[in-house]
Amino acid sequence: MSVGLPRPVERLIEAFGRLPGIGPKSAARLTYYLLRAPQAESRELAEALTGMQEGTAFCSACYNITEAGIDPCRICRDDTRQADVLCVVEDLLDVVALERTGQYRGRYHVLHGAISPVEGIGPDDLRIRELVGRVVPEGIGEVILATNPTLEGEATALYIRRQLEGQALRVTRLARGLPSGGDLEYADVTTLSRALEGRQEM
């Protein structure tokens, strides 16, 4: 850290630097921007961060984000959606991406990551056990594995497929309209829609 900076400034730079995709220069730029910004803007940001932490929770059914006090989430409670179809995704933003297509009307299960031995993430660190536990009680007839088309995403999909063997359901994978190595959240609506439509048995 730069020598001579007041500790509150250093602390904020360090905090920004821990965010994904934010390097030291970007962290410093954001900090210096807030230093020069009106106090009301900094206060609004601080209140928004606090409000997000206090006003949100994870759905006890699908582990998507929900407003505090609203459990299960609005998607799980929506009785116009297909209750027997589950789309399994790695992260919260993948739900947002798929919802934007307007093509999917089932429910979700968010794993909160992918199997990655390099990063020390194993099956027990994800919501895989909870996924398997939903199949029979909820009468699930199809599980769509919509993990990212990366090595980690493929490994996760294969592991889940093995965990679901012997269950009376279809296990499908999104079609290969998605670029290899890409993330769902960055895919355009058309690509995601085609991937949903062309999903295959796994």
Q: Give the DSSP letter string of the chain.
A: --TT--HHHHHHHHHHHTSTT--HHHHHHHHHHHHHS-HHHHHHHHHHHHHHHHHEEE-TTT--EEETT--S-HHHH-TTS-TTEEEEESSHHHHHHHHHHS---SEEEE-SS--BGGGTB-GGGTTHHHHHHHHTTTT--EEEE---SSHHHHHHHHHHHHHTTTSSSEEEE--TTSPTT--GGGS-HHHHHHHHHT-EE-
Please tell me the total count of domains within the chain.
1
User: Domain for residue 180, yes or no?
Assistant: yes
User: Domain for residue 19, yes or no?
Assistant: no
Q: Which residue has better confidence, 180 or 96?
A: 96
Q: CA–CA separation, 78 vs 133, rounded Å?
A: 21
Q: What percent of the chain has pLDDT over 70?
A: 93
Query: What's the pLDDT score for residue 96?
Result: 96
* 111, two tokens: 């794993």
* Interval 91-133: pLDDT, tens: 999 999 999 999 999 999 999 999 999 999 999 999 999 999 9
User: Domain for residue 7, yes or no?
Assistant: no
Query: What's the pLDDT score for residue 139?
Result: 97
Would the pLDDT of 18 be above 80? yes
User: Domain for residue 142, yes or no?
Assistant: yes
What is the average pLDDT across 150-165?
A: 95
What residue numbers bound the domain in which 151 lies? 78-201
* 143, two tokens: 């599980």
The CATH number for 83's domain is: 3.40.1360.10
User: Domain for residue 161, yes or no?
Assistant: yes
Q: CA–CA separation, 85 vs 81, rounded Å?
A: 9
**CB-based contact 197:175 (threshold 8 Å):** yes
Residues 6+ apart with CB under 8 A from 166: none
Query: What's the pLDDT score for residue 16?
Result: 95
**CA 185 from centroid of its chain's CA atoms:** 9
Query: What's the pLDDT score for residue 175?
Result: 75
User: Domain for residue 88, yes or no?
Assistant: yes
User: Domain for residue 44, yes or no?
Assistant: no
Would the pLDDT of 55 be above 70? yes
* Interval 137-156: pLDDT, tens: 999 999 999 999 889 999 99
Query: What's the pLDDT score for residue 178?
Result: 61
- In one-letter notation, the amino acid at residue 135 is V
User: Domain for residue 23, yes or no?
Assistant: no
Nearest alpha carbon to residue 108 among 124, 80, 133, 131: 131
Average of per-residue pLDDT values in the chain:
91
